[in-house]
Amino acid sequence: MSRLNGKVAIITGAASGMGRATAIRFAGEGAKIVIADLNKDGGESAARDCRENGSEAVFIRTDVSAEADIKAAVDRAVKEFGRLDIIYNNAGLGGAVGPIESITVENWDKTMAILLRGVFLGIKHSIPAMRKAGGGSIISTASIAGIQGYAGIHPYSAAKAAVINLTRSAATELAKDKIRVNCICPGGINTPLVYGNVKGGENAAAGFLSKMQPMTREGRPDDIANMALFLASDESEWITGAAMVVDGGYTAAGNFFNSREGAGLQGDALPSDGFAGPSFETRKS
């Protein structure tokens, strides 16, 4: 396959989950990959998987909330591979959870730094390199939580809603440069960020996630990788400013997590209070 031949992509949060699946998929389609993640072991392993899938890949340790780190990832892509065509701002975490009156300012700010500032920085620093390349595709991970309200994940929901509208405003500004800006709104995807906090692990998480939406299976990282590939490829050259929902019909059916049954399932996946960190720091079953 060669849908991304000759293209260079940075993927943040690519050490596991949706980012890793996307990196491997992009590599198989001919893209050269920069894995940008805090998780060194997972990131280097993902880079090896990309190389085994037929392309070149490097890892750079990256805190997406730090401007210098994002700039360094872009510089690494250009130095290593000569250009930048795609950035997928995917890194994320659960962040501050619990009743809104119990959320600390510190945990609110930490959540926003990863989920929103990280996307802003990825957009900001990719623009000059993409202009030199004659255009590009900027993709970010938003969420159905940015479309609907969810009790207990207030900063996460607010940040993801902001990502959706930042996508729209950036798309209008950058269209003249042939830089497309889109985001993906996943539903219930069975990633380490979810099943790392579930007793019984991946299989148990698949069981409750499969009950969330009309399509009766859990979302999988490859479902998001498929959409990211489309948005990264020239097949989507007339699509910009879009929030692409990938949720098995969840939002079409209504807000399940605000039902009594759904609230119980959400409680299985997230702590009731405090701060839910990145996937490599979650509790293992």
Residue range 271-279: average pLDDT?
73
Angle in degrees, CA 129, 122, 95, rounded to 5: 170
Looking at domain 8-191+219-251, its CATH architecture is: 3-Layer(aba) Sandwich (3.40)
**DSSP-based three-state secondary structure for 200:** coil
pLDDT tens per residue, range 45-67: 999 999 999 999 999 999 999 99
Helices (H), 29-94: 40-52, 67-81
156 catalytic per annotation = yes
Instruction: Find the range with the poorest average confidence among 115-129, 219-233, 254-268.
Output: 254-268
Cβ-proximal residues to 28 (8 Å cutoff; 6+ apart), any chain: 1, 53, 54, 55
Q: Tens digits of per-residue pLDDT, 238-264?
A: 999 999 999 999 999 875 554 444 545
CA–CA separation, 2 and 6 (whole Å): 9
Average pLDDT, the chain: 92
Backbone phi, then psi, for 240, in 5-degree steps? -150, 150
In sequence order, the β-bridge partners of residue 183 are: 140, 243
Bigger pLDDT: 154 vs 1 = 154
Residues 88-117: tens digit of each pLDDT: 999 999 999 999 999 999 999 999 999 999
Which of 150, 156, 195, 250 is an active site residue? Answer: 156
Angstrom distance (rounded) from CA 112 to CA 135: 28
DSSP conformation class of 179? E
Give the max Cα distance, the chain. Answer: 53
CB distance 30 to 6 below 8 Å: yes
Among 183, 150, 136, 134, smallest CA distance to 31 is for 136
